[in-house]
Copies of this chain bind each other. A is one copy, B any other.
């Protein structure tokens, strides 16, 4: 049994694990990220590797990092929350630990994990959407992770859905994640509470009476209780989610969509309206199969599992996905 280490380096924590070739986690570790000090973050990563390999016979390290990764798959060009600029992360970890190391963007690593061992297993072309504060994701095309010519493929949150729409931090108006994300869900709820407080009684109650204090958890809680306003919030963002998915399908014609990220923990509350709209808007509907839309299965482990697997296949130029039999 060959084991590899997968590490997910985010702005607040470093999560790591030992993973086998079936995607099973054999050990786990978690550390806080010293995010203001790039050198110390590397030390934390190296410590984590040393600690895990002390008890496990591992042959490689895969790191998913929240930033842009160069096409050498070893250098982090830019990481907004980690203070890295052109950081030779792969080389530093190799030097510190003596294990071959590969670096990937964290959303790509998580998408790869879901595609190989989670809700996308058994498929060769999958779109993984990570619906959290914004929308991220990854593309698996013909069995390989698609990184794009600049390593910037799958900037899914910034697809345009409303040409004269809401302002986005990227400088455009109408980006998808302004309509179909956790932040959009909260905005929708706050707006109902602000303009129609009578409709939003339960949401306001959960938020101590203040519209601006409504959180995503409040909306999910109220929706699960059957609150009409909260359900409408999910319907609204789910509809926008399905709207964009119809575009992605017209473009790439994937075998499957996988929905992950914090908002997808709401499950059918989000998936239901998304699938309905997707089916309604899919071009050629009726004359083609609609790709199934599955909820992610690995949860927050997807990044660790995906990074570890990318490490295992690091020598392939582009590690192709074999179809894994689903028991």
> When the two chains form their complex, are residues A142 and B318 in contact, meaning their CB atoms are under 8 A apart?
yes
> When the two chains form their complex, are residues A284 and B155 in contact, meaning their CB atoms are under 8 A apart?
yes
Give min CB distance, A113 to chain B, whole Å: 21
Q: Is the interface of A mostly helix, strand, loop or mixed?
A: loop
Q: A30 contacts the other chain (Cβ, under 8 Å)? A: no
> When the two chains form their complex, are residues B251 and A159 in contact, meaning their CB atoms are under 8 A apart?
yes
Identify the stretch in A10-18, A91-99, A161-169, A258-266 within 8 Å (CB) of chain B at 4 or more residues: A161-169
Chain A residues 152-208 with CB under 8 Å of chain B are 152-156, 158-164, 166-172, 175, 178, 191-192, 195-196
How many copies the complex holds: the figure is 4
> When the two chains form their complex, are residues A170 and B283 in contact, meaning their CB atoms are under 8 A apart?
yes
Number of interface residues of A (CB under 8 A): 59
Name the one of B139, B149, B171 contacting A254, with C-beta atoms under 8 angstroms: B149
In the complex, what residues of B have CB within 8 A of residue A252's CB? 139, 146, 148, 153, 251
In the complex, what residues of B have CB within 8 A of residue A291's CB? 149
In the complex, what residues of B have CB within 8 A of residue A168's CB? 195
In the complex, what residues of B have CB within 8 A of residue A150's CB? 253, 288-289
Give min CB distance, A61 to chain B, whole Å: 25
Q: A247 contacts the other chain (Cβ, under 8 Å)? A: yes
